[in-house]
Structure 1
Amino acid sequence: MKKKTKTTVFISFFIILVLLAMLWKELNILFIPSDYNNVDSMAEVMMKKTSTPGVAMVISRQGKLEYKCYGYADVKHKKKINEESLFEIGSTTKAFTALAIILLEEEGYLYGSDCVTDYISWFTPTYNGKHEKITINQLLAHTSGIPPWSIRLIPEGTKANMLERTIRNISTINLESYPGTKHNYATVNYDILALIIEKITGERFQDFVTDNILLPLGMTESYFSTGHEKISNNLPKGYKAFLGNSVEYRAPRYNGNIAAGYLVTNVKELGFWMNAQLGLGDIPVKLKRAINKSHEVDKESAGYEELNKYYSYGWNHDTKNGVISHSGSNPNYSSQVIMNLEKQEGIFVLANLDSSAPTQIAYNTYKNMMVSR
């Protein structure tokens, strides 16, 4: 019995050491100075320290686009990342979903003050045992009161009804805070928005966004990953970190969560998206007006994060510096976008591993862009 106990203790101690080593590796990145000789060397260091196989980035300076690609789309076959490599962009998808809501509001199909139950009658969450109504604005700002752990209620699967199944799974959830009183990021808020879009338009969410946002911006290679699409040769293998290395990983599919995290695109087309956000390029007037609105912060309805920082319309807003940003994290892909609206500069970084590399690369690059101006 004592021998068994010692073995159990040893195994537990070993597991703790491994986990601490992995955590230290990630934490160490946060304290790396940003005075690199160039962006390339910095990106390579970040990739190495996070075991990230491949990274692609696009930088926009007053509309001029620059692409940088590093590492592998397929490690085993030494296939390189390029500017047309497609990535799941995770939660940076949310800005597209919010923009779809704004387009419908501009056409008079809905209002931000509308309640979810106006469109989904069976959605009846509770707070302190009482049914409470949640508004569209509260979903957009993550002030609905829906807890972050609700992501665990998203069912795995690729059937056509997965979006409604996802929302039904949370339809009677106990709210963590009274709607409108506290910012608490919950990815399913944007899945609810997707179902509202479908109820209003009679179209699939992905079709509405494709026709009204992606195609008008020239994002013809971009699509929402539902699990039914033909896998493109431009889609890099996804990887997962394991004991300090990256291993190929085929992640489960969540068709009910595509509005919150499963747009697939590349840095070439994200350059079009960024320039549209920066007020550059020839885009339809209606879409341009909606984009401008997505940059506005109504402090009464936006999610308050900290001093001068709010969440609204799928963006983290730094109102003091005129910067919008967002990160994205899926099981085997990750992303980070940062844009300075006033200076018309931005950067979008994608990776085929869920790691901190895109965030660190983006912020170090952005910092150097600001210093070198």
Structure 2
Amino acid sequence: MKKYILAVLVCALLLTGSADSYAVGLQTGDIDGYTGDIDAYLEASMKQAGIPNVSIGIVRHGEAVYLQDYGRSPDSGESIYPIGSLSKMFTALAVRQLINDGKLKEDAHVDQYLPDFHASYQGNDASVTIGQLIRHTSGISAIDGGMPYIYKAGYSLADIVKKSANLKLNHRPGTAYEYSNLNYIFLGRIAEVVSGCSFEDYVNEEILEPLRMERTFPNAAGLEDGNHIKGHIPFYGAAVSVSYRISAGDSPAGGFLSTTEDLCRFMVCYQQGGRTDEVSLISGNEGSGRQSSGSDVYYDIYWTKIDRKPGMRFTHNGSLPGYSSSILLDTDSGYGIVVLTNSFNQMNLQKNAPTPWSMAEDILEYLTEGKFPEAADVTYDYSIMILLICLLAGLVLFSVFMLRRKIKSKIALFIFLVIPILWIVLVPLIYDSSLEWLLVSNPAVNVSLLCIMASLALVGIVKIFRSRHNT
């Protein structure tokens, strides 16, 4: 499947119990005859994938025609979800506004706006442009864009940019596509510098307020705890509820929270050529950036293009620990679909399990073809969990062996106290992140490692106590 990008002018596992899901209807339009089948499909998908809550919105030809929430607990129908990388749509739009207003130049070098920014490729200085950040062709690596410090609570955009200012690029700028969150974090900071206000204030005033997206937030700072759906992460086959705050510095790349109703407004505005009844969100050269760079994949304020005959489809996905989301637009039928969930198959333990992106595709196929695709059998890969369980079991046996064996107190102190304490203290310091985020981002692995270190420390305490008691 070829991938391109088209301008958008605006724009894990849960144990399946016996509790029945239900839906809270919000609004219907010209798809009334299809909603029963859609509801049944989504409820079956939730049960199959162990997803606690799903929210869906459907638009067609510039009108919201269906909004529905599904879940295991009552909700108002305006459920707020963290939307992960869907946030980039708003950042790209903000940057395009600044470019079209003449406040920012697409071919300008990043260090013109961020003097501390420095990049190198194969030992030589490299210049990165605004356009390359937008299209993910800057050469910045995906690994650099996923460093834990990016998500550290309390870090501002300026803080993250300062820590990330000296980069070794994976590719020569402009020559290859590599998706990296840092591209959009830099863009968010540049928007602040150029506009003279915070990224959050700019997006609120120039995008969210004109679209009346009243339940969309650039970050969780304006929300009280409990005002958004809690995420769920997989942990040894069960789904564990989590609540955490991402730093405001990650807002441009993945920190937004929104509802399907608000995101439908965003899609409707796209379908109306970047306008609402009251305002136009883009001025100047609205076609700017549509030209292909000559590669199969490029990125602007664009979504991934999926070639279809007839028509074209455009999509963007997002994910965070405990959440996943997807938006899909079909130019031929005029349908747009957004799916938000509070679960993420983080370790890929489930094979062929429904995801927001597969749900959106399946629903679109049903609306356009009259039938859902045949569901694939869900299989489970427990190899990672089995390895971790064996590791923990081995630790228990090792601990019993060490407790029965005589060992010098100084050696015991080093093995069983110094090493675990150093791990617990130094790992967050090395990654400049909180231990909480490290545990949430990969719970099965990191919690298991934490248990191992805590167990070693406990054995060390017992060994030292026995050694001193015997002397």
Which category describes the TM-score, using the shorter chain as reference length? 0.7 to 0.9
Report the Cα offset of residue 50 of structure 1: 2.1
Partner of residue 69, structure 1: 69
The match for 1:180 among 174, 183, 195 is 174
Partner of residue 304, structure 1: 296
Alignment of 1:24-103 (within 5 A): 38-62=37-61, 63-72=63-72, 79-103=73-97
Report the Cα offset of residue 142 of structure 1: 0.7
Distance 1:163 1:90, change over 3 A: same
8 Å CA contact retained: 2:128, 2:138: yes
8 Å CA contact retained: 1:126, 1:174: yes
The match for 1:116 among 105, 110, 119 is 110
Partner of residue 158, structure 1: 153
Please, what is the CA RMSD of the aligned residues?
2.5
Distance 1:372 1:250, change over 3 A: same
Report the Cα offset of residue 328 of structure 1: 0.3
Amino acid at match of 1:39: I
Report the Cα offset of residue 215 of structure 1: 0.5
Whole-angstrom distance in 1 between the partners of 2:319 and 2:196 = 30
Report the Cα offset of residue 288 of structure 1: 4.8
Partner of residue 147, structure 1: 141
Partner of residue 240, structure 1: 233
Q: Secondary structure at the match of 2:326?
A: strand
Q: Secondary structure at the match of 2:90?
A: helix
Paired residues, number = 325
Question: Alpha-carbon deviations, 1:183-209, whole Å to 9, x = none?
Answer: 111111100000000111111101101
Partner of residue 326, structure 2: 336
Q: Tell me, which stretches of 5 or more residues in structure 1 are unaligned?
A: 1-21, 23-35, 73-78
Which stretch has the larger CA shift, 329-338 or 353-362? 353-362
Partner of residue 305, structure 2: 317
8 Å CA contact retained: 1:183, 1:304: no
8 Å CA contact retained: 2:210, 2:279: no
Report the Cα offset of residue 54 of structure 1: 0.2
Report the Cα offset of residue 245 of structure 1: 2.7
| 1:170 corresponds to 2:168 | no
Task: Decide which structure has the larger Cα Rg and report it.
Answer: 2
Partner of residue 216, structure 1: 210
Which stretch has the larger CA shift, 271-280 or 351-360? 351-360
Report the Cα offset of residue 290 of structure 1: 7.7
Question: Alpha-carbon deviations, 1:191-243, whole Å to 9, x = none?
Answer: 000000011111110110110000000101211224x3332654112211223
8 Å CA contact retained: 1:92, 1:314: no
| 1:133 corresponds to 2:127 | yes
Report the Cα offset of residue 253 of structure 1: 2.2
Report the Cα offset of residue 65 of structure 1: 2.2
Whole-angstrom distance in 2 between the partners of 1:85 and 1:202 = 32
Question: Alpha-carbon deviations, 1:111-133, whole Å to 9, x = none?
Answer: 11111011001111110101101
Partner of residue 186, structure 2: 192
Whole-angstrom distance in 1 between the partners of 2:368 and 2:91 = 30
Q: Secondary structure at the match of 1:65?
A: strand
8 Å CA contact retained: 2:152, 2:246: yes
8 Å CA contact retained: 2:157, 2:249: yes
Q: Secondary structure at the match of 1:39?
A: helix
Whole-angstrom distance in 2 between the partners of 1:252 and 1:287 = 30
Distance 1:222 1:197, change over 3 A: same
Q: Secondary structure at the match of 1:217?
A: coil
Whole-angstrom distance in 2 between the partners of 1:67 and 1:362 = 13
TM-score normalized by the length of structure 1: 0.80
The match for 1:203 among 197, 208, 215 is 197
Quote the sequence identity (%).
27
8 Å CA contact retained: 2:51, 2:342: yes
8 Å CA contact retained: 1:144, 1:180: yes
Q: Tell me, which stretches of 5 or more residues in structure 2 are unaligned?
A: 1-12, 14-34, 346-353, 372-471
Partner of residue 10, structure 1: none
Distance 1:290 1:317, change over 3 A: farther
Q: Secondary structure at the match of 2:207?
A: helix
Whole-angstrom distance in 2 between the partners of 1:291 and 1:114 = 17
Question: Alpha-carbon deviations, 1:261-283, whole Å to 9, x = none?
Answer: 11111111111111001117734
8 Å CA contact retained: 1:163, 1:257: yes
Partner of residue 251, structure 1: 244
Whole-angstrom distance in 2 between the partners of 1:153 and 1:290 = 37
Distance 1:325 1:292, change over 3 A: farther
Amino acid at match of 1:259: P
Distance 1:185 1:51, change over 3 A: same
Whole-angstrom distance in 1 between the partners of 2:93 and 2:76 = 28
Amino acid at match of 2:158: E
8 Å CA contact retained: 2:64, 2:264: no
8 Å CA contact retained: 2:87, 2:254: yes
Question: Alpha-carbon deviations, 1:334-370, whole Å to 9, x = none?
Answer: 1000012353210000011224621121111111122
Distance 1:43 1:312, change over 3 A: same
8 Å CA contact retained: 2:109, 2:129: yes
TM-score normalized by the length of structure 2: 0.64
